[in-house]
Amino acid sequence: MISILLIVFLIQLAIHLVTTLGSDAINNILWQTYCKLPTPHSKKGAAIASLRQEVVALNREMNNTSAQDDFARWAKLRRQHDKKKDEYEKTSREIQDFQATFNRAVGILRWVATSGIRYALQWWFSKRAMFWLPQGWVPHAVEWILSLTAAPLGSISINMWWIACASMISLVSEIVLSGIKLSQRQGQAVTEKQPLPSGTKVSEKKEL
């Protein structure tokens, strides 16, 4: 069985990733993934792309046709254009409505899988010790704080363990991001300082 300590850490890591990436980015990734699956909405997505191309082609052909010189052809193209445009707008609205429902469902599931489980675990394990501190290792006041809100005195409560996990994940994330930015800056500096290839002549202005 997986330790509750590890479960808390993994849930907090998921919460941190969601916060860092952003809900909109996650929804977009999941939506793009869903559209690649063999579903009715993926077929509608392909139909939208095809209808868009047809509407653009008909509009271009209609603009190249004179309504005065060839009214019959222009009127036929206009009817075809309006029909395809209506189909495109109808299908597009259906996709947009479903995507809004999809995003709401994903948001609910994401909350349940992260914050919802977090609150449930904090309530269920509120009176249990995650682990015990050595007796007399810290002052009584510190023991009381570490056992908040209702864990036995002298133990680490799930709330304090959750705070510790959140702090550690945030700190490591900042270190990693800072390291990546520093590496990028060093790479740019090295690129700028690279010597010119041999045989390249540098023009110099001569004072007369």
Dihedral, CA atoms, 194, 195, 198, 203, nearest 10 degrees?
120
State the average pLDDT for the chain.
Answer: 83
Nearest to 106 by CA among 11, 27, 37, 28: 27
* 122-132 tens-digit pLDDT: 999 988 888 88
Query: Is the N-terminal amide bond of 149 cis, ω within 30° of 0?
Result: yes
- With beta carbons less than 8 A apart as the criterion, state whether 41 and 98 touch: yes
Tell me the two tokens of residue 58: 């008909």
**Could you tell me the pLDDT band of residue 205, with boundaries at 50, 70 and 90?**
very low
Of 2, 23, 1, 16, the C-alpha closest to 165 is 16
30-49 average pLDDT score: 80
Q: What is the pTM of this model?
A: 0.67
Average pLDDT over residues 151-178: 91
pLDDT of residue 50: 82
Beta bridge partners of 88: none
Cα separation, 38 vs 105, in Å, equals 20
* DSSP conformational letter for 91: H
Average pLDDT over residues 149-164: 89
Residue with tokens 């041999």: 198
Whole-angstrom distance, CA of residue 109 vs CA of residue 119: 15
What is the mean pLDDT of the segment spanning 65-77? 78
For the stretch 47-67, pLDDT in tens is 787 888 888 888 888 888 777
Mean pLDDT of 24-40: 85
Q: Degrees (nearest 5) of the Cα angle 176, 181, 185?
A: 145
Query: Containing H/E element for 21?
Result: helix 4-21
| pLDDT at residue 32 in the model | 85
How would DSSP label each residue in 29-90?
Answer: HHHHHHHTSSSHHHHHHHHHHHHHHHHHHHHHHHHTS-TTTSHHHHHHHHHHHHHHHHHHHH
